[in-house]
Amino acid sequence: MATIKKECSIKDNGFEYLGKYYDCKFAIKRDVKMILQEAETSHKDSFDKLYDKSTLRPDKIHIFVDEDDVPIYGMITYLIDYREGNNARYACGGYYGFNFGGSSTLYPHPYQESICW
């Protein structure tokens, strides 16, 4: 089964795809915790010095769909502002599966995890 990558903007902790709303609150809460934990574990001194962690926010979701345009899984990308200047950088959250149990809430993918900082 081939997958195709699409991108949607996150607004109000969710997004709409093909007329269906998907709630990302759970995924965002989980990702933010994991991204901050990873950044502080791997390079706490430079992280605290360079970034305003209170600005970490969801920006877009990358959706992987099948050939029938059915979402399979997605990954949210986040922005965080530098303390100085008017710039931000990206961080990525984990992979989340769509429609587990018919729900429109995203849940962690059972086999994929990827937090990048």
pLDDT in tens, 24-53: 998 999 999 999 998 888 888 899 999 999
Name the residue type at position 68. Answer: D
- Distance between CA atoms of 18 and 12, rounded to whole angstroms? 18
In a domain, 28, yes or no: yes
Residues in the chain: 117
Q: Domain residues for 38?
A: 4-8+23-108
Q: Are 90 and 62 in contact (CB under 8 A)?
A: no
Give 10-residue mean pLDDT values along the chain (117 residues): 82 93 91 91 89 96 89 91 94 82 63 61
- Distance between CA atoms of 92 and 95, rounded to whole angstroms? 9
The structure tokens listed for 66 are 């099948």
- Distance between CA atoms of 60 and 14, rounded to whole angstroms? 10
pTM of the prediction?
0.86
In a domain, 44, yes or no: yes
In a domain, 17, yes or no: no
Number of domains in the chain: 1
